[in-house]
Amino acid sequence: MKYERIKASLFIDNRKKFIAKMVKNSLAVFNSNDIFPISADSTMPFQQHRDIFALSGVDQEESILVLFPDTTNAAHKEVLFLKETSDLIAIWEGEKLTKQTAFEVSGIKTVYWLAQFPVIFKQMMAEAENIYLNTNEHLRASTEVETREDRFIKKVKQDFPGHSVKKSAPIMHEIRSIKSSIELDLMQRACKITESGVRRILDFVKPGVWEYEIEAELIHEFIRNRSQGFAYTPIIASGKNACVLHYIENNQQCQEGDVILLDVGAEYANYASDLTRCIPVSGVFTKRQKEVYNAVLHVKTEAEKLLVPGTIMAEYHKKVGNLMEEQLVNLGLLSMDDIKNQKADWPAYKKYFMHGTSHFIGLDTHDVGLWHEPISEGMVFTCEPGIYIPEEGLGIRLEDDLVVQKSGAPFNLMKDIPLQADHIEELMNAN
């Protein structure tokens, strides 16, 4: 991995938090993700399952973590199973974790090779009454692919029908909702890498540049700063393309007079950043573009003030909708009649602002979290209002990553990334 080794204390603390939530005489199992094939002998780049990473720091395929705090065998309270390394694997694939390096990464003393798992796991299950299985319960999860975790769950239920099954997901959502100081440092680093990319392209963008050239500049800057690359598929949408919320083709030429919507973020050590900025291709916003830009900025500024402990997210989104409604009226995009006649389940502002304002961010760009509980200190959210006007070929969205504080406004992990329209113009015209 390109990133510097993370302190093992992060993973030790996370395991303690998970174990504290387990019922008596239970074990929990977490599996790595698969390496997914493309065709022939080609595969997609490996991405570790975020839960096993959060609990162990192991960033390697074919790994298994077992937690069994009530076992009579002291060596089996925390166990890692890893793919056995060899000289041949080292030559063809590069070195894998040894038992010693796995301990240094995770703080777990007992490490076995994967081939030993069936026998040792059967011994553990003979002693346990309950097993925690890890299913994907993200509210937006939608996949038809059977994962390594899915296959394991099917086999466990078949082989051990007498055990009571518990869910790991609610516990992991709680643990991952609140970021530790180590995690916030990692996320801050991801945001600083993103900042480097943004500042690079402010000096690069000119009329005639292609969207994919901007993407290339960003990925260069990200990787040279020890990132694996984009935290998610980048959106580099010029002109009317910015009105497509998840535009990812990035294959159009940027024309003078257009605005480019950049929804991009670097990852660092599997932690995501998520940024949106809008910049004028010619280096100067038109009067209308700046009006819309400042309207979005106003909503974002006011919305941030609501990200405080005790806030309920459903109420938060309603309040942001009211803020946006006011700005759309000021811009002449909505009338008072539009608002008077709006539907309760589809407010008038949705015509120009059709997505949510905030989501959890952390090990996933759209991270797991406690959506139905009040906001708490240490949670990290995006704030990303936008206005999209297809008839004007203009889309403006502004987004930062914000840490909820004990009191007062949240801390902006992206506070140093240019945001004000005038500042962006100044930087683009500095040379």
| C-alpha to C-alpha distance for 179 and 170, rounded to whole angstroms | 16
> Would you state the pLDDT for residue 1?
86
- Strand locations in 367-429 (E): 380-383, 386-389, 394-397, 400-403, 411-412
Do 8-176 and 181-428 have matching folds? no
Give the burial string for 242-268 (b: 16+ CB within 10 Å, else e).
bbeeebeebebebeeebbbbbbbbbbb
> Would you state the pLDDT for residue 345?
87
Q: Is the pLDDT of residue 431 over 80?
A: no
Q: What is the token pair recorded at 343? A: 């539907």
> Would you state the pLDDT for residue 90?
79
Beta-carbon contacts of residue 406 (< 8 Å; ≥ 6 apart): 309, 377
Q: How would you class 210 by CB atoms within 10 Å of its CB: exposed for 0-12, middle for 13-18, buried for 19 or more? A: middle
Mean pLDDT of the chain: 96
> Would you state the pLDDT for residue 89?
81
> Would you state the pLDDT for residue 139?
85
pLDDT digits (tens, 9 = 90+) for 129-188: 999 999 999 988 888 889 999 999 999 999 999 999 999 999 999 999 999 999 999 999
Fold of 181-428: Creatine Amidinohydrolase (3.90.230)
* pTM, full prediction: 0.96
Q: At what angle do helices 8-21 and 99-106 cross, to 10 degrees?
A: 70
pLDDT digits (tens, 9 = 90+) for 249-287: 999 999 999 999 999 999 999 999 999 999 999 999 999
| C-alpha to C-alpha distance for 329 and 351, rounded to whole angstroms | 12
Pairing of strands 26-31, 64-67: antiparallel
| C-alpha to C-alpha distance for 420 and 411, rounded to whole angstroms | 18
Place of tokens 């002693």: 127
Provide the greatest CA pair distance for the chain: 74
Fold of 8-176: Creatine Amidinohydrolase; Chain A, domain 1 (3.40.350)
Place of tokens 């500024």: 301
In the chain, where the domains are located? 8-176, 181-428
pLDDT digits (tens, 9 = 90+) for 390-415: 999 999 999 999 999 999 999 999 99
> Would you state the pLDDT for residue 349?
97
Beta-carbon contacts of residue 325 (< 8 Å; ≥ 6 apart): 334, 339, 347, 348, 349
pLDDT digits (tens, 9 = 90+) for 201-255: 999 999 999 999 999 999 999 999 999 999 999 999 999 999 999 999 999 999 9
Q: What mean pLDDT is predicted for residues 32-55? A: 95
| C-alpha to C-alpha distance for 84 and 109, rounded to whole angstroms | 16
